[in-house]
């Protein structure tokens, strides 16, 4: 009977883990909906297939095709749209282009603030197909609005729809809208649909300059079927440099909003594998569920009442979907937990159910578990990257076998925990249980002081104190304890275990040590269950065997294939000042594509005096001098160069002599700039600034651009030298080169300038 109860306890734990991972995403139904007022997955997928055939980054021919497709679909819905053509400049990213936003409006019955439906329709340059990022957002809005209009219900608020351009270049379309379009003043709330992978649950993240109470309460009232969110993600997101279009609305327009984004299958992000076929249909349905519930709710409430002076803790919780409470409760809950623990601990000592010496001794295995499991995970991942140097070429840090590694490291951590605690099998369960609770309280003290969004982690501590109270005050039959404790621990497992996957997926596998820490915490909170199991050596053996098996599977799958393409890169760089040329690559490991150039006589490191640098601060890893190809360079005309009021004003125009995708301007020394103007638009709102050595501007040529005009106001004696890089994505099609194309197991490396011809010259002003 006892072994049966312990089996059921383990089953409850396993079921809760499964429940936690599957409770926050819908499943695709085999039924075909005929109700025209309902969101149709088939309709959405039809649109997606049409707009994600090829890369459609700003300035490409396909970008214009996708733009026309969206306009035509809006027209079919009876909505007239406009194209907002506007040069925008992002000071933070030093990026600029002439954006072409697609905008339309549905009139409401009242004159309050409008609800904005937002996504972007450009893909990332130059090879991303953009099915998930953000084709999924485009089709969610197109099909969602169709279903909404089919209901023929009048709502109170105007609904503005913005398909922004150039999000991938630096949120430029959103900036153009917020700073220059009159409708931006009408907006009370933004619903932004995004993706940072091709699958998984879509998470809700808020953006507000104030507090989240009213936003959260209204989100809960909108009653989404599968809310996936917690205030830890919200707090971490606010501290990270990651931005979306919604950030522009918050920072530049003081407008609140919600991001809805899925991030699993991160290995597809910004690659040619971000395709229609690889998009998880459940993730698209999840976006649709958010869209439908949010549109129905927020289109009918007063959007001026969303600001608040109070923040809430919130987290997904079993059965009730989402638990929330004010930040003002965090300290009282922490104090109450400490008092309850001290009371129970003191009474336990008096009743001689707890021993002080045994409790102190219990810190040894738990602290060792935290240290050893996290250190081993951290170092082992470093070793795996050393053994598999091709992982360095996956710049975002999440490999194709990443989920297998997460599972392997999880079971390795379990094996370590069982192994460490096997040396303390003669200690009392209740004594060993004190250390996890105390560490949990210390963790929550840190959270209270530094990261209140994670304060829901006090809930597992309360569950553990309840278990401790039962051990101290009640004489529960041993055969019933494990099941009872497993039931009490359901919230603990449900809250923490999904984060074991979330951190390595969202931040890269270098964060596997955080997963080990979380597993150790859960193990500590569940100690009274595991300690009750007599044959713990079986669990230890199974954990170790499973870890070895998963590491073996991950090793077998550490290569590349048609479905798991290897990223690689080649660029040709011509210095037009001294007529020298180089090949360069970002790859650490060469394949047949890279080796056709880098076979002999290459140098490790970055090209001398090269100013090229891409996302994640990635620089060239190898370069090789080669023959000059005499690539034509742009013509530069000085339009104005004069001294006015002791300041030098200079204007020049760059005329491309070939198809240029982007211009990169770098200043070779710090300079004081009083005004900086691109295509007639002032940088930094016309304010003076100090430009450090390095990137001055990166301008992506749009479809409407024929040339690039730049004006500068400097000190009268200032004579800066600017390096101009001209980048075209035609390396594989230019007749001056004869490169063999990639095979079907390869793809262009994302996050870097790739497949490019780059000409570089100095402009001495």
Residue boundaries of the structural domains of the chain: 2-20+327-556, 36-317, 568-765
Report the pLDDT value the prediction gives residue 4, as an integer from 0 to 100.
Answer: 76
- Which tokens hold the place of 604? 């490790």
Collapsing DSSP to helix, strand or coil, 346 comes out as helix
pLDDT number for residue 1: 45
Tokens of 462: 């309360």
Looking at the domain covering 36-317, what would its CATH class be? Answer: alpha beta
Q: Is 29 helix (H, G, I), strand (E, B) or coil?
A: coil
pTM (2 d.p.): 0.94
Closest listed residue to residue 176, CA positions, set 7, 58, 353, 343: 58
Strand partners, 571: 584, 756
Q: Is 474 strand, coil or helix?
A: coil
204-236: b or e for each residue (b if 16 or more CB lie within 10 Å)? bbbbbebbbbbbbebbbebebebbbbbbbbbbb
**Whole-angstrom Cα distance, residue 59 to residue 699?**
11
> What is the token pair recorded at 212?
């989240």
10 Å CB burial of residue 478 (0-12, 13-18, 19+) is exposed
Quick one: DSSP state of residue 401?
T
Between helices 281-298 and 41-51, what is the axis angle to 10°?
Answer: 110
How far apart, in whole angstroms, are the C-alpha atoms of residue 348 and residue 623?
A: 69
pLDDT, tens digit (0-9, with 9 covering 90-100), for 547-599: 999 999 999 999 999 999 999 999 999 999 989 999 999 999 999 999 999 99
Task: Give the Å distances, CA to CA, from 327 to 60, 454, 458.
Answer: 48, 10, 13
pLDDT, one tens digit per residue, over 390-438 is 999 999 999 999 999 999 999 999 999 999 999 998 899 999 999 999 9
Residue 513 near residue 378, CB atoms below 8 Å: yes
Compute how many other C-beta atoms are within 10 angstroms of the C-beta atom of residue 721: 13
CA neighbor of 749 nearest in space, from 557, 618, 661, 623? 618
Q: How far is CA 51 from the centre of its chain?
A: 23
Helix, strand, coil abundance in the chain, percent, nearest 5:
45, 20, 35
pLDDT at residue 240, as a whole number: 62
**Consecutive 10-residue runs of the chain (765 residues): their mean pLDDT?**
74 94 87 86 97 96 97 97 96 94 97 97 95 97 98 95 97 97 97 96 93 96 96 76 88 96 94 96 97 97 95 95 96 98 97 95 97 97 96 94 97 97 92 97 96 96 97 79 93 96 93 97 95 80 96 95 96 93 95 94 82 70 93 94 92 95 94 94 91 93 95 92 95 94 96 95 91
Contact 727, 758 (CB under 8 A): yes
């Amino acid at each position: 009977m006892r072994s049966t109860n312990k089996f059921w306890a383990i089953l409850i734990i396993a079921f809760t883990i499964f429940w936690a991972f599957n409770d926050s995403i819908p499943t695709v139904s085999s039924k075909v909906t005929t109700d025209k007022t309902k969101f149709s997955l088939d309709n959405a997928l039809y649109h997606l297939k049409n707009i994600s055939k090829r890369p459609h980054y700003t300035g490409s021919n396909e970008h214009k095709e996708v733009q026309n497709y969206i306009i035509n679909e809006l027209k079919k819905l009876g909505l007239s749209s406009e194209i907002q053509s506007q040069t925008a400049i992002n000071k933070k990213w030093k990026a600029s282009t002439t954006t072409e936003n697609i905008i339309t409006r549905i009139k409401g019955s009242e004159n309050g603030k409008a609800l904005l439906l937002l996504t972007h329709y450009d893909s990332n340059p130059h090879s991303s197909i953009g099915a998930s990022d953000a084709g999924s957002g485009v089709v969610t809005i197109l099909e969602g609005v169709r279903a909404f209009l089919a209901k023929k219900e009048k709502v109170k608020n105007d609904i503005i729809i913005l398909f922004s351009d150039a999000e991938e270049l630096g949120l430029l379309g959103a900036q153009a809208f917020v700073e220059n379009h009159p409708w931006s003043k009408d907006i009370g709330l933004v619903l932004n649909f995004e993706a940072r992978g091709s699958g998984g649950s879509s998470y809700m993240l808020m953006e507000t300059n104030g507090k989240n109470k009213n936003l959260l309460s209204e989100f809960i009232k909108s009653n989404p079927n599968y809310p996936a969110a917690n205030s830890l993600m919200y707090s971490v997101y606010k501290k990270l440099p990651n931005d979306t279009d919604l950030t522009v609305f918050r920072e530049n327009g003081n407008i609140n909003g919600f991001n809805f984004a899925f991030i699993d299958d991160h290995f597809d992000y910004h690659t040619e594998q971000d395709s229609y076929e690889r998009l998880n249909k459940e993730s698209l349905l999840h976006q649709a569920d958010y869209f439908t519930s949010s549109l129905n709710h927020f289109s009918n409430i007063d959007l001026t009442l969303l600001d608040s002076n109070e923040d809430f803790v919130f987290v997904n919780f079993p059965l009730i979907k989402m638990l929330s409470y004010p930040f003002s409760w965090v300290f009282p809950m922490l104090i109450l937990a400490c008092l309850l623990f001290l009371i129970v601990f003191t009474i336990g000592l008096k009743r001689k159910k707890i021993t002080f010496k045994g409790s102190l001794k219990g810190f040894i295995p738990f602290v060792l578990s935290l240290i050893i499991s996290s250190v081993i995970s951290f170092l082992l991942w470093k070793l795996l990257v050393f053994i598999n140097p091709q992982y360095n070429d996956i710049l975002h840090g999440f490999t194709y076998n990443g989920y297998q590694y997460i599972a392997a490291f999880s079971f390795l951590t379990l094996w370590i925990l069982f192994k460490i605690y096997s040396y303390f099998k003669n200690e009392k369960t209740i004594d060993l249980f004190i250390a996890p609770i105390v560490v949990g309280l210390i963790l929550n003290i840190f959270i209270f002081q530094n990261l209140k969004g994670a304060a829901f982690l006090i809930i597992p501590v309360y569950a553990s104190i309840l278990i401790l109270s039962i051990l101290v005050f009640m004489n529960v039959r041993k055969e019933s304890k494990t099941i009872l404790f497993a039931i009490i621990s359901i919230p603990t497992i449900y809250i923490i275990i999904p984060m074991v996957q979330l951190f390595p997926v969202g931040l890269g596998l270098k964060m596997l040590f955080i997963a080990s820490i979380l597993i150790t915490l859960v193990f500590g909170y569940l100690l009274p269950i595991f300690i009750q199991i007599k044959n713990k050596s079986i669990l230890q053996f199974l954990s170790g065997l499973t870890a070895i098996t998963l590491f073996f599977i991950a090793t077998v799958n550490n290569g590349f294939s048609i479905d798991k393409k290897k990223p690689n890169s080649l660029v040709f760089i011509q210095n037009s000042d001294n007529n020298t040329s180089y090949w360069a690559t970002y790859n650490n490991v060469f394949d047949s594509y890279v080796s056709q150039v880098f076979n002999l006589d290459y140098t490790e490191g970055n090209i001398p005096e090269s100013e090229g640098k891409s996302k994640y601060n990635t620089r060239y890893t190898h370069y090789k001098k080669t023959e000059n190809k005499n690539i034509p360079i742009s013509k530069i005309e000085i339009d104005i160069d004069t001294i006015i009021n002791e300041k030098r004003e200079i204007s020049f125009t760059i005329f491309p002599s070939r198809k240029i995708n982007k211009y990169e301007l770098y200043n070779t020394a710090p300079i004081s700039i009083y005004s900086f103007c691109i295509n007639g638009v002032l940088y930094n709102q016309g304010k003076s600034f100090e430009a450090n050595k390095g990137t001055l501007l990166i301008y992506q040529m749009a479809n409407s651009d024929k040339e690039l005009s730049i004006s500068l106001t400097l000190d009268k004696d200032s004579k800066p030298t600017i390096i101009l890089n001209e980048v075209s994505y035609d390396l594989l099609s230019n007749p001056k080169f004869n490169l063999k194309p990639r095979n079907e197991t390869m793809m262009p490396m994302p996050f870097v300038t790739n497949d490019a011809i780059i000409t570089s010259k100095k402009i001495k002003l």
